[in-house]
Structure 1
Amino acid sequence: MPDRVFNVLFLCTGNTARSIIAESILRKDGAGRFNAFSAGSQPKGVVNPFALKVLADSNYPTEGLRSKSWQEFAAADAPVMDFVFTVCDNAAGEACPVWPGQPMTAHWGIDDPAAVEGGDIDKERAFVQAFRFMKNRISVFAALPIKRLDGVALGAKLREIGHSEGASHGRPDVA
């Protein structure tokens, strides 16, 4: 009998950078174990070109990535999520929709690379750093023995991941 595939949703306000990066990383690194999705509370409708560049430069998939509303995943016909992670402090502080299936949640905030000012080199550097922080979190998450952990232990591990290197200083653990 094949192992169960878990659905994971990454949330951010605009769904242009951090949540998109997370979706792509888990899509590749968690293939066969996880289905990765991303969405935003107020999607901008376009993916940040630096996010796409950094993903492509790191050999991560960019095809099919789009900025979309979290309402798509609250609909009756949406995939039932097992995990929902906020990756920006604004989304963590917002009232989220009710997710079918009562997924486990955690806040994995990192600073917004799209907010960095300066030249293209400075902006790309910020996206590379965001990619690295997110990849580290997802690597730890993907290595968890999810089926062997009870809900309390798993929840603690998910929150712990959110406090790893690069954690933003916003509102942790309110996802």
Structure 2
Amino acid sequence: MTSPFSVLVLCTGNSARSILGEAILNQLGAGRVAAHSAGSKPKGQPHPGALRLLARRGIDTSPFRSKSWNEFTGGDAPPIDLAITVCGNAAGEACPVFFGAPLKAHWGLPDPADMTGSDDEVDAAFEETWRLLEMRVRAFLALPFETMDRAALSGALAQIGQMEGAA
């Protein structure tokens, strides 16, 4: 049996979008994908809105933590096949650049952690981010990525990054 395709979802703080991306990839890609998330400047803990959303979806929140991408660069780190950045360039965010993965993609989205207001308003922003990420993950999982050549997969990943809501 071949190993699952290893995906690292990256953002600056690793508290919201990248955590949701990890959860969606692992949930929908079980067996085909092994997803992780990290940040270049981790916040130290997942955003409460992300944890509430995961709990509402019946996903155990205990494995999720805000961690540094340094955990994925050492000799004992899992091999990474694809690094996906999810930070929003339109908001002036500086996306981290991960040098350890052979493939890179950018699926920029607005940060729901920037939402202020009531828990209901914050939760609505997280739900929208989930919807946009899930759409991208489903498009990725519809690809025969295990057998695609690098150029074709890179092109498909770039198209996925331009889907609705791209930031």
In structure 2, the CA distance between the partners of 1:125 and 1:41, relative to structure 1 (3 Å rule), is: same
CA distance in 1, matches of 2:17, 2:38: 10
Q: Report SS of the residue matched to 2:146.
A: helix
Q: Which residue of 2 aligns with 1:162?
A: 161
Q: Which residue of 1 aligns with 2:152?
A: 153
Q: Which residue of 1 aligns with 2:44?
A: 45
**Cα contact 1:9–1:84 (8 A) shared by 2:** yes
Q: Report SS of the residue matched to 2:46.
A: coil
Q: Report SS of the residue matched to 1:135.
A: helix
Query: Which consecutive residues of structure 2, in runs of 5 or more, have no partner in the other structure?
Result: none
Q: Which residue of 1 aligns with 2:34?
A: 35
CA distance in 2, matches of 1:104, 1:34: 14
Measured against aligned partners, the alpha-carbon deviations of 1:17-54 in whole angstroms (never above 9, x if no partner) come to 00000111111111111111000000011111110111
CA distance in 2, matches of 1:62, 1:91: 27
Q: Report SS of the residue matched to 1:39.
A: strand
Question: Which segment drifts farther, 54-63 or 125-134?
Answer: 54-63
Q: Which residue of 2 aligns with 1:57?
A: 56
Q: Which residue of 2 aligns with 1:135?
A: 134
Measured against aligned partners, the alpha-carbon deviations of 1:47-79 in whole angstroms (never above 9, x if no partner) come to 111101112212334231000000110111101
Tell me by how many angstroms 1:97 deviates: 4.5
CA distance in 2, matches of 1:60, 1:143: 23
Tell me the C-alpha RMSD between the 2 structures: 1.3
Q: Which residue of 1 aligns with 2:77?
A: 78
CA distance in 1, matches of 2:113, 2:54: 15
Query: Which consecutive residues of structure 1, in runs of 5 or more, have no partner in the other structure?
Result: 169-175
Q: Give the percent of matched residue pairs that are identical in Structure 1 and Structure 2.
A: 46
Aligned AA (1:84): A
Aligned AA (1:131): W
Aligned positions, number? 163
TM-score by length of 2: 0.92
**Cα contact 1:11–1:91 (8 A) shared by 2:** no
Measured against aligned partners, the alpha-carbon deviations of 1:81-136 in whole angstroms (never above 9, x if no partner) come to 000000003352x4x3431xx42101001000010122221111000000110111
TM-score by length of 1: 0.88
Q: Which residue of 1 aligns with 2:20?
A: 21
Question: Which segment drifts farther, 53-62 or 20-29?
Answer: 53-62
CA distance in 2, matches of 1:123, 1:70: 26
